[in-house]
Amino acid sequence: MIYVVAHKMFTPPDLDESYRTIFVGDRVRAEAKKDGFLVDSDGDSISDKNPYYCELTALYWIWKNDKSNDWIGLNHYRRYFISSDTGKILTKDEIENLLQSHDVILWDKIIWNESVERSYYCGAGYKKDLLILKKYMRKFYPDYMDALEEILKGKSASYANMFIMNRQLCNDYCEWLFRILSAMECEVDMTGYTVQEKRIYGYLGEILLNVWIKKHGLNTAYCTAINTEVGTLSWKDIARINIKNAVKRIIYFPSGIKYKRLYKR
């Protein structure tokens, strides 16, 4: 089952029976329940943390409440994996064929002109939070530190928390991921953060998915993802992302602490 995460009502593309929508966030929850959709607030959930965890509140719900599907996927209401052969959104048969020869399906890596670490804290994050992440990684999973540093120092990664993998791998990943992120909550200080910057755990989850896969040496199938609002990401799209980050960098110190934060404090 691929869960399509949405925070608002939308018109879905043509999808087969292997896709099902799950809504996150208070803005749509009442309407979603009325219309009979899945919502991340039913059962065992962390729905109230959606402003900080983004689509990961849906992943938590899936982990705790889906006990029947053989494989689990996460797409967005506007982003879907597509077949390299047909250029269309992956079907159930295509997914199952890929999973016969691969452990996990991920979005194609984005290649930066700088490290993943610097892209993080020159984008929407802060270096101090990466230091907290490293602290709890070292505390709970010290044998993952090499993989973490390798991903952070590298210049490419898969983003958006999009994946497809079998149930057991998904359960193992979620247990590992949410232990780290939940432990960080008691130490992360979001004073002065913008709405975007408060999505910290969703952003860190993107990095950690790459770390977990790297550590376990999983055989990964990388697929292009289509954004139904703008189409597939081309090299021009990536160039615009890099230019945007370069502009942001002007107002950042190398430490990752913004000038505005210094003035506020």
Local confidence band at 258 (pLDDT 50, 70, 90 cut-offs): very low
Question: ∠ at Cα 133 (129, 134), nearest 5°?
Answer: 115
Whether 201 shows a pLDDT value over 60: the answer reads yes
Output the pTM of the full model.
0.87
| Structural contact between residues 20 and 2, judged by C-beta atoms closer than 8 angstroms | yes
**Amino acid in the structure at residue 191:** T
pLDDT, position 247? 52
Mean pLDDT across the stretch 203-228? Answer: 96
**Using CA of residue 213, residue 215, residue 216, residue 221, what is the dihedral sign?**
positive
**Amino acid in the structure at residue 25:** G
Q: Tokens for 125, please give them.
A: 């994050």
In a domain, 121, yes or no: yes
What is the spatial distance between Cα 45 and Cα 67, in angstroms, rounded to a whole number? Answer: 15
Q: What is the DSSP letter of 256?
A: S
What is the spatial distance between Cα 254 and Cα 58, in angstroms, rounded to a whole number? Answer: 34
| Structural contact between residues 39 and 22, judged by C-beta atoms closer than 8 angstroms | yes
Domain count, the chain: 1
- Name the percent of the chain lying above pLDDT 70: 87
The percent of the chain in helix, strand and coil, each rounded to the nearest 5, is 45, 15, 35
In a domain, 263, yes or no: no
Whether 259 shows a pLDDT value over 50: the answer reads no
In a domain, 264, yes or no: no
In a domain, 265, yes or no: no
pLDDT, position 188? 97
Mean pLDDT across the stretch 251-261? Answer: 37
Whether 263 shows a pLDDT value over 90: the answer reads no
* Region of residue 146 (phi > 0: left; psi between -120 and 50: alpha; otherwise: beta): alpha
Q: Tokens for 64, please give them.
A: 């705790």
Mean pLDDT value across the chain: 88
In a domain, 102, yes or no: yes
Whether 49 shows a pLDDT value over 60: the answer reads yes
Local confidence band at 25 (pLDDT 50, 70, 90 cut-offs): confident
Range(s) of the domain holding residue 116: 2-257
pLDDT, position 122? 82
